[in-house]
Structure 1
Amino acid sequence: MLHILFVCTGNTCRSPMAEGLLRKLARERGIDVEVRSAGVSAISGTSISRHAAGILQDEGIDDRIVSSQLTGEAVHWADLVLTLTGGHKRHLLQYFPDAVNKTYTLKEYVHTQESVNADIRELDSLYADAELSISLGGEPSAADLQRIIEIRQRIPSFDISDPFGGSREDYELTAAEIRTALYSLLDKLESLRRL
Protein backbone atom coordinates (compact mmCIF):
# COMPACT_ATOMS: atom_id res chain seq x y z
CA MET A 1 0.00 0.00 0.00
CA LEU A 2 1.27 3.44 -0.97
CA HIS A 3 1.31 6.08 1.79
CA ILE A 4 0.69 9.62 0.50
CA LEU A 5 1.03 12.78 2.62
CA PHE A 6 -0.39 16.12 1.41
CA VAL A 7 1.14 19.27 2.91
CA CYS A 8 -0.08 22.87 2.89
CA THR A 9 0.11 25.76 5.37
CA GLY A 10 -2.52 25.37 8.10
CA ASN A 11 -3.96 22.00 7.04
CA THR A 12 -7.45 23.50 7.06
CA CYS A 13 -8.20 24.06 3.34
CA ARG A 14 -6.16 22.63 0.47
CA SER A 15 -4.46 19.56 1.95
CA PRO A 16 -7.60 18.27 3.72
CA MET A 17 -9.55 18.63 0.46
CA ALA A 18 -6.77 16.76 -1.38
CA GLU A 19 -6.72 14.07 1.32
CA GLY A 20 -10.47 13.46 1.28
CA LEU A 21 -10.81 13.66 -2.50
CA LEU A 22 -7.89 11.31 -3.17
CA ARG A 23 -9.16 8.77 -0.65
CA LYS A 24 -12.56 8.73 -2.42
CA LEU A 25 -11.25 8.76 -5.99
CA ALA A 26 -8.65 6.05 -5.31
CA ARG A 27 -11.30 3.83 -3.73
CA GLU A 28 -13.52 4.33 -6.80
CA ARG A 29 -10.66 3.23 -9.06
CA GLY A 30 -9.58 0.35 -6.84
CA ILE A 31 -6.17 1.87 -6.07
CA ASP A 32 -4.88 0.94 -2.63
CA VAL A 33 -3.50 4.06 -0.91
CA GLU A 34 -3.43 5.42 2.60
CA VAL A 35 -3.69 9.20 2.72
CA ARG A 36 -2.90 11.79 5.38
CA SER A 37 -2.39 15.54 5.40
CA ALA A 38 -0.48 18.04 7.51
CA GLY A 39 0.47 21.70 7.60
CA VAL A 40 3.81 23.44 7.95
CA SER A 41 2.15 25.97 10.30
CA ALA A 42 -0.84 23.97 11.54
CA ILE A 43 -2.33 23.88 15.00
CA SER A 44 -3.06 20.21 15.55
CA GLY A 45 -6.69 19.38 16.25
CA THR A 46 -8.14 22.49 14.58
CA SER A 47 -11.25 21.93 12.48
CA ILE A 48 -10.91 22.30 8.74
CA SER A 49 -12.55 25.37 7.20
CA ARG A 50 -16.33 25.25 6.80
CA HIS A 51 -16.08 25.70 3.02
CA ALA A 52 -13.55 22.84 2.69
CA ALA A 53 -15.79 20.66 4.87
CA GLY A 54 -18.81 21.64 2.75
CA ILE A 55 -17.06 20.70 -0.48
CA LEU A 56 -16.07 17.32 0.93
CA GLN A 57 -19.63 16.73 2.17
CA ASP A 58 -21.01 17.63 -1.27
CA GLU A 59 -18.68 14.93 -2.68
CA GLY A 60 -20.16 12.40 -0.22
CA ILE A 61 -16.98 12.42 1.87
CA ASP A 62 -17.69 12.27 5.57
CA ASP A 63 -14.10 11.82 6.80
CA ARG A 64 -13.44 13.48 10.13
CA ILE A 65 -10.34 15.40 9.09
CA VAL A 66 -8.72 17.74 11.61
CA SER A 67 -5.50 19.66 11.17
CA SER A 68 -2.11 18.17 12.02
CA GLN A 69 1.26 19.84 12.35
CA LEU A 70 3.88 18.46 9.96
CA THR A 71 6.20 16.11 11.85
CA GLY A 72 9.19 13.95 11.10
CA GLU A 73 7.04 10.91 11.86
CA ALA A 74 4.54 11.90 9.15
CA VAL A 75 7.32 12.51 6.61
CA HIS A 76 8.95 9.18 7.50
CA TRP A 77 5.55 7.38 7.20
CA ALA A 78 4.98 8.70 3.68
CA ASP A 79 6.19 7.00 0.53
CA LEU A 80 5.21 10.13 -1.40
CA VAL A 81 4.92 13.69 -0.02
CA LEU A 82 2.87 16.06 -2.18
CA THR A 83 2.87 19.72 -1.23
CA LEU A 84 0.36 22.23 -2.54
CA THR A 85 2.95 24.93 -3.34
CA GLY A 86 6.64 25.26 -4.01
CA GLY A 87 6.97 27.25 -0.77
CA HIS A 88 5.59 24.32 1.22
CA LYS A 89 8.01 22.01 -0.54
CA ARG A 90 11.02 24.25 0.21
CA HIS A 91 9.93 24.54 3.86
CA LEU A 92 9.59 20.78 4.18
CA LEU A 93 12.98 20.12 2.58
CA GLN A 94 14.60 22.71 4.84
CA TYR A 95 13.64 20.61 7.88
CA PHE A 96 13.62 17.17 6.24
CA PRO A 97 16.29 17.25 3.48
CA ASP A 98 16.46 13.45 3.44
CA ALA A 99 12.91 13.47 1.99
CA VAL A 100 14.11 15.11 -1.23
CA ASN A 101 13.61 11.99 -3.36
CA LYS A 102 9.96 11.57 -2.37
CA THR A 103 8.76 15.19 -2.10
CA TYR A 104 7.08 17.08 -4.95
CA THR A 105 4.36 19.63 -5.41
CA LEU A 106 1.18 17.86 -6.48
CA LYS A 107 1.18 19.53 -9.89
CA GLU A 108 4.86 18.89 -10.63
CA TYR A 109 4.53 15.20 -9.72
CA VAL A 110 1.88 14.73 -12.40
CA HIS A 111 3.62 17.02 -14.92
CA THR A 112 4.83 15.09 -17.95
CA GLN A 113 7.30 17.40 -19.74
CA GLU A 114 10.66 15.69 -19.11
CA SER A 115 12.85 18.78 -19.56
CA VAL A 116 10.92 20.56 -16.80
CA ASN A 117 11.01 17.45 -14.61
CA ALA A 118 14.82 17.23 -15.04
CA ASP A 119 15.12 20.89 -13.96
CA ILE A 120 12.96 20.18 -10.91
CA ARG A 121 15.12 17.20 -9.89
CA GLU A 122 18.29 19.28 -10.23
CA LEU A 123 16.75 22.17 -8.28
CA ASP A 124 15.65 19.86 -5.47
CA SER A 125 19.14 18.41 -5.25
CA LEU A 126 20.69 21.89 -5.16
CA TYR A 127 18.28 22.95 -2.38
CA ALA A 128 19.06 19.83 -0.35
CA ASP A 129 22.82 20.36 -0.77
CA ALA A 130 22.47 24.02 0.26
CA GLU A 131 20.51 23.10 3.39
CA LEU A 132 23.09 20.46 4.29
CA SER A 133 25.93 22.98 3.88
CA ILE A 134 24.13 25.49 6.09
CA SER A 135 23.35 22.88 8.76
CA LEU A 136 27.06 21.94 8.86
CA GLY A 137 28.05 25.57 9.42
CA GLY A 138 29.05 26.32 5.85
CA GLU A 139 27.46 28.16 2.97
CA PRO A 140 26.25 27.02 -0.43
CA SER A 141 28.65 27.74 -3.27
CA ALA A 142 28.11 30.83 -5.40
CA ALA A 143 27.86 28.60 -8.47
CA ASP A 144 25.09 26.53 -6.86
CA LEU A 145 23.17 29.66 -5.86
CA GLN A 146 23.47 31.03 -9.40
CA ARG A 147 22.27 27.71 -10.83
CA ILE A 148 19.24 27.77 -8.47
CA ILE A 149 18.31 31.22 -9.79
CA GLU A 150 18.68 30.11 -13.42
CA ILE A 151 16.50 27.04 -12.97
CA ARG A 152 13.81 28.83 -10.95
CA GLN A 153 13.40 31.42 -13.71
CA ARG A 154 12.43 28.82 -16.29
CA ILE A 155 10.25 26.45 -14.27
CA PRO A 156 6.49 27.16 -14.46
CA SER A 157 4.52 27.65 -11.25
CA PHE A 158 3.09 24.45 -9.81
CA ASP A 159 1.21 26.13 -6.95
CA ILE A 160 -2.42 25.36 -6.14
CA SER A 161 -4.31 28.57 -5.33
CA ASP A 162 -5.00 29.31 -1.67
CA PRO A 163 -8.71 29.88 -0.92
CA PHE A 164 -8.12 30.72 2.78
CA GLY A 165 -10.49 33.48 3.88
CA GLY A 166 -12.26 33.44 0.53
CA SER A 167 -15.78 32.68 -0.61
CA ARG A 168 -17.31 29.28 -1.27
CA GLU A 169 -16.64 29.95 -4.96
CA ASP A 170 -12.91 30.41 -4.22
CA TYR A 171 -12.91 27.01 -2.49
CA GLU A 172 -14.79 25.45 -5.42
CA LEU A 173 -12.14 26.73 -7.84
CA THR A 174 -9.33 25.38 -5.67
CA ALA A 175 -11.12 22.04 -5.31
CA ALA A 176 -11.46 21.84 -9.09
CA GLU A 177 -7.74 22.56 -9.47
CA ILE A 178 -6.92 19.82 -6.93
CA ARG A 179 -9.36 17.36 -8.50
CA THR A 180 -7.79 17.80 -11.94
CA ALA A 181 -4.32 17.11 -10.52
CA LEU A 182 -5.64 14.09 -8.58
CA TYR A 183 -7.08 12.55 -11.75
CA SER A 184 -3.61 12.81 -13.30
CA LEU A 185 -2.06 11.41 -10.12
CA LEU A 186 -4.35 8.38 -10.22
CA ASP A 187 -3.59 7.85 -13.90
CA LYS A 188 0.12 7.88 -13.03
CA LEU A 189 -0.34 5.48 -10.11
CA GLU A 190 -2.33 3.10 -12.32
CA SER A 191 0.39 3.13 -14.98
CA LEU A 192 3.10 2.53 -12.33
CA ARG A 193 1.07 -0.34 -10.91
CA ARG A 194 1.02 -2.03 -14.32
CA LEU A 195 4.83 -2.00 -14.62
Structure 2
Amino acid sequence: MINVLFVCLGNICRSPMAESVFREVVRKRGYSGSFKIDSAGTAGYHIGKQPDRRTLEVLETHGLKTTHHGQKIDDELLSEADHIAVMDEANFEDVHNYLHKKLKRPPAPEKLFLIRDFDPEVRGVHEVPDPYYEPIEAFEEVYILLERSSEALLDHLIDLHQLEPDPERDEEE
Protein backbone atom coordinates (compact mmCIF):
# COMPACT_ATOMS: atom_id res chain seq x y z
CA MET A 1 0.00 0.00 0.00
CA ILE A 2 1.33 3.43 -0.98
CA ASN A 3 0.97 5.99 1.78
CA VAL A 4 0.40 9.59 0.63
CA LEU A 5 0.30 12.40 3.19
CA PHE A 6 -0.89 15.93 2.35
CA VAL A 7 0.45 18.75 4.54
CA CYS A 8 -0.44 22.39 5.14
CA LEU A 9 -0.18 24.65 8.20
CA GLY A 10 -3.27 23.96 10.31
CA ASN A 11 -4.82 20.91 8.61
CA ILE A 12 -8.29 22.45 8.31
CA CYS A 13 -8.34 24.00 4.81
CA ARG A 14 -5.92 22.91 2.09
CA SER A 15 -4.56 19.54 3.22
CA PRO A 16 -7.89 17.94 4.21
CA MET A 17 -9.31 19.19 0.91
CA ALA A 18 -6.30 17.69 -0.92
CA GLU A 19 -6.81 14.42 0.96
CA SER A 20 -10.46 14.24 -0.10
CA VAL A 21 -9.81 15.29 -3.69
CA PHE A 22 -6.95 12.82 -4.15
CA ARG A 23 -8.99 10.03 -2.54
CA GLU A 24 -11.79 10.68 -5.05
CA VAL A 25 -9.41 10.80 -8.03
CA VAL A 26 -7.88 7.50 -6.87
CA ARG A 27 -11.34 5.95 -6.40
CA LYS A 28 -12.64 7.04 -9.79
CA ARG A 29 -9.58 5.65 -11.52
CA GLY A 30 -9.82 2.31 -9.69
CA TYR A 31 -6.78 2.41 -7.43
CA SER A 32 -8.36 2.69 -3.96
CA GLY A 33 -6.87 -0.60 -2.79
CA SER A 34 -3.35 0.66 -3.57
CA PHE A 35 -3.35 3.79 -1.42
CA LYS A 36 -3.55 5.01 2.15
CA ILE A 37 -4.31 8.74 2.07
CA ASP A 38 -4.15 11.16 5.01
CA SER A 39 -3.37 14.78 5.86
CA ALA A 40 -1.77 16.73 8.68
CA GLY A 41 -0.56 20.19 9.60
CA THR A 42 2.84 21.50 10.60
CA ALA A 43 1.21 23.41 13.47
CA GLY A 44 -1.04 22.04 16.17
CA TYR A 45 -3.62 24.83 16.15
CA HIS A 46 -6.57 22.67 15.14
CA ILE A 47 -5.86 19.18 16.48
CA GLY A 48 -9.09 17.19 16.67
CA LYS A 49 -11.17 19.79 14.84
CA GLN A 50 -13.19 19.27 11.68
CA PRO A 51 -12.06 21.06 8.53
CA ASP A 52 -13.06 24.68 8.04
CA ARG A 53 -16.75 25.04 7.18
CA ARG A 54 -15.84 26.51 3.78
CA THR A 55 -13.67 23.48 2.99
CA LEU A 56 -16.61 21.24 3.87
CA GLU A 57 -18.96 23.37 1.78
CA VAL A 58 -16.74 23.25 -1.32
CA LEU A 59 -16.20 19.51 -0.95
CA GLU A 60 -19.96 18.99 -0.64
CA THR A 61 -20.56 21.13 -3.73
CA HIS A 62 -18.37 18.63 -5.61
CA GLY A 63 -20.08 15.60 -4.08
CA LEU A 64 -17.29 14.83 -1.60
CA LYS A 65 -17.30 14.37 2.16
CA THR A 66 -14.61 13.96 4.77
CA THR A 67 -14.47 12.55 8.27
CA HIS A 68 -10.99 13.97 8.83
CA HIS A 69 -10.08 15.72 12.07
CA GLY A 70 -7.03 17.97 12.34
CA GLN A 71 -3.72 16.43 13.32
CA LYS A 72 -0.14 17.61 13.52
CA ILE A 73 2.74 15.91 11.73
CA ASP A 74 4.74 13.56 13.91
CA ASP A 75 7.40 10.88 13.58
CA GLU A 76 4.87 8.15 12.84
CA LEU A 77 2.96 10.02 10.12
CA LEU A 78 6.13 11.16 8.38
CA SER A 79 7.98 7.85 8.60
CA GLU A 80 4.98 5.87 7.31
CA ALA A 81 4.44 8.24 4.37
CA ASP A 82 5.92 7.14 1.07
CA HIS A 83 5.07 10.51 -0.46
CA ILE A 84 4.45 13.84 1.27
CA ALA A 85 2.68 16.49 -0.82
CA VAL A 86 3.01 19.92 0.76
CA MET A 87 0.90 22.97 -0.07
CA ASP A 88 3.47 25.79 0.18
CA GLU A 89 7.15 26.66 0.56
CA ALA A 90 7.00 27.50 4.29
CA ASN A 91 5.46 24.15 5.17
CA PHE A 92 7.77 22.38 2.72
CA GLU A 93 10.73 23.88 4.58
CA ASP A 94 9.32 22.80 7.96
CA VAL A 95 8.77 19.21 6.81
CA HIS A 96 12.11 19.12 4.98
CA ASN A 97 13.99 20.26 8.10
CA TYR A 98 12.08 17.81 10.30
CA LEU A 99 12.86 14.90 7.99
CA HIS A 100 16.47 15.98 7.45
CA LYS A 101 17.04 15.99 11.20
CA LYS A 102 15.41 12.54 11.60
CA LEU A 103 16.93 10.89 8.54
CA LYS A 104 20.35 12.52 8.92
CA ARG A 105 20.10 13.38 5.22
CA PRO A 106 17.77 15.42 3.03
CA PRO A 107 14.55 13.63 2.00
CA ALA A 108 14.41 12.36 -1.56
CA PRO A 109 12.40 14.43 -4.07
CA GLU A 110 9.99 11.52 -4.58
CA LYS A 111 9.34 11.52 -0.81
CA LEU A 112 8.74 15.27 -0.30
CA PHE A 113 7.42 17.73 -2.87
CA LEU A 114 4.99 20.57 -3.44
CA ILE A 115 1.63 19.30 -4.72
CA ARG A 116 1.65 21.89 -7.50
CA ASP A 117 4.86 20.37 -8.85
CA PHE A 118 2.31 18.17 -10.60
CA ASP A 119 0.02 20.95 -11.81
CA PRO A 120 0.18 20.68 -15.61
CA GLU A 121 -0.72 24.34 -16.02
CA VAL A 122 2.28 25.82 -14.18
CA ARG A 123 6.05 25.68 -14.35
CA GLY A 124 8.47 26.51 -11.55
CA VAL A 125 7.60 26.90 -7.92
CA HIS A 126 3.92 27.42 -7.29
CA GLU A 127 2.03 27.13 -4.07
CA VAL A 128 -1.54 26.35 -3.16
CA PRO A 129 -2.65 29.67 -1.65
CA ASP A 130 -3.98 29.56 1.89
CA PRO A 131 -7.67 30.51 1.69
CA TYR A 132 -8.21 30.75 5.47
CA TYR A 133 -8.70 34.54 5.56
CA GLU A 134 -10.47 34.64 2.20
CA PRO A 135 -14.09 34.20 1.03
CA ILE A 136 -15.53 30.89 -0.22
CA GLU A 137 -14.39 31.64 -3.80
CA ALA A 138 -10.77 31.20 -2.71
CA PHE A 139 -11.64 27.73 -1.40
CA GLU A 140 -13.19 26.87 -4.78
CA GLU A 141 -9.99 28.00 -6.53
CA VAL A 142 -7.96 25.79 -4.18
CA TYR A 143 -10.24 22.88 -5.08
CA ILE A 144 -9.57 23.42 -8.80
CA LEU A 145 -5.78 23.57 -8.27
CA LEU A 146 -5.86 20.43 -6.13
CA GLU A 147 -8.02 18.47 -8.53
CA ARG A 148 -5.76 19.28 -11.47
CA SER A 149 -2.62 18.50 -9.48
CA SER A 150 -4.10 15.30 -8.02
CA GLU A 151 -4.83 13.85 -11.46
CA ALA A 152 -1.21 14.39 -12.54
CA LEU A 153 0.15 13.17 -9.19
CA LEU A 154 -1.81 9.95 -9.54
CA ASP A 155 -0.45 9.46 -13.07
CA HIS A 156 3.06 9.90 -11.70
CA LEU A 157 2.53 7.45 -8.84
CA ILE A 158 0.97 4.84 -11.15
CA ASP A 159 4.08 5.02 -13.33
CA LEU A 160 6.53 5.19 -10.43
CA HIS A 161 5.05 2.20 -8.60
CA GLN A 162 3.91 0.33 -11.74
CA LEU A 163 0.37 0.05 -10.41
CA GLU A 164 -2.54 -1.79 -11.94
CA PRO A 165 -6.17 -0.83 -11.21
CA ASP A 166 -7.95 -2.78 -8.49
CA PRO A 167 -9.41 -6.01 -9.91
CA GLU A 168 -12.76 -5.39 -8.21
CA ARG A 169 -12.86 -1.73 -9.11
CA ASP A 170 -15.82 0.36 -8.00
CA GLU A 171 -17.29 1.42 -11.34
CA GLU A 172 -19.72 3.91 -9.77
CA GLU A 173 -18.83 7.36 -11.02
In the other structure, the counterpart of 1:71 is 74
In the other structure, the counterpart of 1:144 is none
Query: For 1:106, which of 109, 115, 118 is the aligned residue?
Result: 115
Count of equivalent residues: 152
**Where do 5+ consecutive residues of structure 2 fail to align?**
164-173
Q: Is the 8 A contact 2:119 2:145 kept in 1?
A: no
Query: Aligned partners of 1:166, 1:44: CA distance in 2, in Å?
Result: 22
RMSD of aligned alpha carbons: 1.9
Q: Which amino acid aligns with 2:24?
A: K
Q: Is the 8 A contact 2:119 2:149 kept in 1?
A: no
Measured against aligned partners, the alpha-carbon deviations of 1:123-174 in whole angstroms (never above 9, x if no partner) come to: xxxxxxxxxxxxxxxxxxxxxxxxxxxxxxxx93221111112111110011
Instruction: Give % identity.
Output: 26
Greater fraction of residues in helix: 1
Whether 1:82 aligns to 2:85 is yes
Shift of residue 193, structure 1, vs aligned partner: 4.3
User: TM (normalized to structure 2)?
Assistant: 0.81
Shift of residue 65, structure 1, vs aligned partner: 1.1
In the other structure, the counterpart of 1:178 is 146
> In the superposition, relative to structure 1, how do residues 74 and 194 fare at CA in structure 2: closer, same or farther (>3 Å)?
closer
Query: Aligned partners of 1:169, 1:37: CA distance in 2, in Å?
Result: 22
Give the structure with higher Rg (CA): 1
**Where do 5+ consecutive residues of structure 1 fail to align?**
113-154
Query: Aligned partners of 1:106, 1:62: CA distance in 2, in Å?
Result: 21
User: TM (normalized to structure 1)?
Assistant: 0.72
Greater relative contact order (CA < 8 Å, ≥ 6 in sequence)? 2
Query: Aligned partners of 1:105, 1:30: CA distance in 2, in Å?
Result: 24
In the other structure, the counterpart of 1:188 is 156
2:107 match: secondary structure: helix
Shift of residue 51, structure 1, vs aligned partner: 0.7
In the other structure, the counterpart of 1:35 is 37
Q: Which amino acid aligns with 2:4?
A: I
